[in-house]
Amino acid sequence: MSMSFSQQTLILTGASTGIGRSLAIALAQKGARLVLAARNQPALAETAAACMEQGGEAIAVPTDVTRSEDCQQLVAAAIDRFGCLDALINNAGTSMLARFDTVTDLSIFEQIMRVNYLGAVYCTHYALPYLKTSQGLLVAISSLCGKTAVPTRSGYVASKHALQGFFDTLRIELQESGVDVLVVSPGFVATDIRQRALGADGHSLGQSPRDESKNTMSVELCVAQIMRAMERRQREQVMTLKGKLIPWVKLVAPGLVDRWSLRAAQTKSPSIQGAAAADEMTSK
């Protein structure tokens, strides 16, 4: 069964910037009815305005996905405005760039897990009854970090592994419901997630530790792949050749994958700069 976006009601978290903002606008161009969520209210309102300029319907619902009550209110706002729900796109996310043995603020691990994993759990919990009614689509924007280990990204990798496991399990549980589950695993995408990543002290880095002009997928190409996977109601979309190869290589030579990742991280200093090389292998 394929999915059309015209007159379909979709909730999209993390819609104020990066992949989320571009995906919202692209969906609006297809005639979607969008319920947009993020913490940054002014930026979220700008995204909603851009969507309406493209012919879609959009409402902005300021939401902190780490708060279950916010997620409940988000779903309620969608039903109140449009009366139904056809898809939930869990896109909100944050990252870190630091070796574990340099971390001085352990709270970053809880923060990352609450945004990247529990936020998706909360939204999915409240959205699922309506998605069962519409036989809709659950989408998780994960990362290749959800499939393999990456030095300097321990908290981020853990959250994405949790996300992958949660939605893989839901897919099995929902087989008889008509709800499909799609996990998207981008590679290295040209967003500001590395600038906003948390360092060892728990503060945002403020700048990316790598050259963002090289070996980077455009946001537009990433969004096009997400939309195509949603239209086809795929179970998974892995966006790079290396990402598709890694699981197979891990089966026969797991140590080789570890050495690839470690060697990449050691090409520069063992702190946050090491993450720049590691990102060549993985990560949105």
- How many CB atoms neighbour CB 171 within 10 A? 17
Name, in order, each residue with C-beta under 8 angstroms of 254's C-beta and a sequence gap of 6 or more.
none
Whether 98 contacts 273, CB under 8 Å: no
Phi, psi for 83 (deg, rounded to 5): 85, -5
Whether 274 contacts 99, CB under 8 Å: yes
Burial label for 126, CB within 10 Å (0-12, 13-18, 19+), is: buried
Which DSSP category does 120 fall into? Answer: H
Name, in order, each residue with C-beta under 8 angstroms of 84's C-beta and a sequence gap of 6 or more.
9, 130, 133, 134
CA atoms of 19 and 185, how far apart (whole Å): 12
Catalytic positions are 156
Length of the chain: 284
**Which residue is it, tokens 């720049």?**
276
Whether 34 contacts 10, CB under 8 Å: yes
Query: In this structure, what token pair is assigned to residue 154?
Result: 């321990």
